[in-house]
């Protein structure tokens, strides 16, 4: 990994971790790899399905991934050493702002988070960062995923929509623009409705967990969703293993920057994958990979 291969020509192979099939991470990973490989022919970014953000952190630490996609909550816990030793990982780029909310069938009676208490909820795949976000969000409201709801953890993200549509669960938790799970439910014959924290609940969550922010899901992100949905969320990142060479990180960053329009045309939410958003979303500049910072200095974005 991350080494030139004489047999394949002057290409640097980068193994990139995404998540389980059916979720938003593999879709983003495809756009990410295709764009970089198109822009820089010396790079070969090869995607791998994983269990999601939490496994990606572990695999990055072990060096079995070169780069991997990690939701903001999982990145925060890993870097700050919450419930574990601090991970010496670096941010390569910001992916997109990730929102968290519920989707229910439009013909259901559920309209508030309180209505969902005691009901079966598909929170996501067990290794997904969505589950971590859900735990923080519900904790901010004094609720627990397992004790206050009938928690359903999925083997893969693609299993969730069908469970909502056939009534096995009351709601699916997820988020983001163009997320496949929400797309599938919103296109169901019954239609769909979103349930997000109200203004008071938003304040309670973001006051208790300050790294979580209010982020709006734009209007018309899904079928039948005519108004923006204020909710909670954070930024997801592409992170690098501790030993990723500065030169490799530099070339990946350069290709992604030069390909900002291309990746945005491949995937709507990837329009947020910009140099400006990487700088704005990173909790601290020293967490950004030195190779990325070298490129940012070269183009005059930072001193």
DSSP per position, 3-20? SEESTT-BEEEEEEE--S
Same domain, 105 and 208: yes
The last residue of a domain, from among 216, 234, 252: 234
Is the pLDDT score of 6 beyond 80?
A: no
Instruction: For residue 67, give the 3-state DSSP assignment.
Output: strand
Q: Per residue in 135-179, pLDDT tens?
A: 999 999 999 999 999 999 999 889 999 999 999 999 999 998 889
Nearest to 133, CA basis, from 222, 235, 207 = 235
Same domain, 91 and 109: no
Task: Return the percentage of the chain with pLDDT > 90, whole number.
Answer: 84
Residue range 179-201: mean pLDDT, rounded: 96
Contact 194, 229 (CB under 8 A): yes
Residues 224 and 292 in one domain: no
Q: Is 239 helix (H, G, I), strand (E, B) or coil?
A: strand
The torsion defined by the Cα of 74, 223, 157 and 268, in degrees rounded to 10, comes to: -50
pLDDT the model gives residue 7? 43
Residue 303 domain-assigned? no
What's the whole-model pTM score? 0.78
Per residue in 60-111, pLDDT (tens digit) is 999 999 999 999 989 999 999 999 999 999 999 999 988 999 999 999 999 9
- Is the same domain home to 160 and 286? no
**Do 156 and 281 belong to one domain?**
no
Q: Do 150 and 253 reside in the same domain of the chain? A: no
- On whether both 88 and 173 belong to a single domain, the answer is no
234, 263, 283 — which closes off a domain? 234
> In terms of residue numbers, what domain contains 281?
4-97+235-298
Rounded CA-CA distance 213/105 in Å is: 26
Q: Does 15 lie in the same domain as 136? A: no
Residues 115 and 193 grouped into a single domain: yes
Residues in a beta bridge with 94: 237
- For residue 232 the two structure tokens come to 């909670």
Provide the CA 218 distance to its chain's centre, in angstroms: 17
Q: How far apart are CA 42 and CA 33, in angstroms?
A: 13
Per-residue pLDDT band for 129 (boundaries 50, 70, 90) equals confident
Q: Is residue 253 part of a domain?
A: yes
* Domain end position, chosen among 234, 261, 286: 234
Tell me: do 103 and 193 sit in the same domain.
yes
For the chain, the domain total comes to 2
Contacts for 273-280: CB closer than 8 Å, 24+ residues apart: 273/32, 273/93, 273/94, 273/95, 273/96, 274/94, 275/299, 275/301, 276/301, 277/94, 277/235, 278/91, 278/93, 278/94, 280/94
**CATH code of the domain containing 17:** 3.40.190.10
Evaluate whether residue 181 is within a structural domain: yes
Please tell me whether residues 159 and 274 are part of one structural domain.
Answer: no
Phi, psi of 269 (to 5 degrees): -70, -20
What does pLDDT average to over the chain? 94
Q: Report CA torsion sign: 252, 258, 264, 265.
A: negative
- CA 97 to CA 129: how far, in whole Å? 13
Residue 9's pLDDT band (cuts 50, 70, 90): low
Same domain, 189 and 246: no
């Amino acid at each position: 990994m991350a080494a030139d291969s004489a047999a394949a020509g002057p290409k640097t192979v980068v193994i990139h971790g995404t998540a389980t099939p059916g979720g938003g991470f593999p879709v983003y990973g495809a756009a990410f790899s295709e764009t970089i490989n198109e822009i820089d022919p010396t790079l070969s970014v090869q995607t791998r399905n994983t269990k999601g953000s939490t496994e990606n952190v572990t695999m990055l630490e072990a060096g079995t991934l070169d780069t991997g996609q990690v939701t903001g909550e999982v990145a925060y816990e890993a870097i700050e050493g919450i419930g574990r030793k601090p991970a010496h990982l670096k941010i390569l780029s910001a992916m997109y702002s990730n929102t968290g909310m519920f989707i229910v069938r439009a013909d259901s009676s559920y309209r508030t988070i309180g209505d969902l208490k005691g009901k079966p909820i598909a929170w996501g795949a067990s290794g997904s960062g969505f589950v971590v976000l859900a735990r923080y969000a519900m904790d901010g409201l004094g609720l627990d995923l397992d004790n206050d709801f009938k928690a359903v953890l999925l083997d893969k993200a693609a299993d969730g929509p069908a469970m909502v549509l056939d009534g096995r669960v009351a709601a699916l938790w997820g988020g983001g623009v163009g997320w496949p799970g929400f797309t599938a439910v919103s296109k169901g014959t019954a239609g769909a409705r979103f349930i997000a924290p109200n203004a008071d609940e938003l304040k309670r969550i973001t006051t208790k967990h300050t790294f979580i922010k209010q982020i709006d899901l734009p209007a018309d992100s899904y079928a039948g969703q005519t108004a923006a949905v204020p909710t909670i969320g954070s930024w997801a990142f592409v992170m690098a293993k501790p030993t990723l060479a500065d030169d490799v990180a530099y070339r990946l960053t350069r290709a992604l920057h030069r390909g900002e329009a291309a990746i945005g045309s491949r995937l709507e939410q990837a329009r947020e994958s910009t140099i400006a958003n990487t700088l704005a979303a990173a909790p601290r500049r020293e967490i950004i990979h030195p190779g990325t910072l070298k490129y940012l200095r070269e183009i005059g974005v930072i001193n």
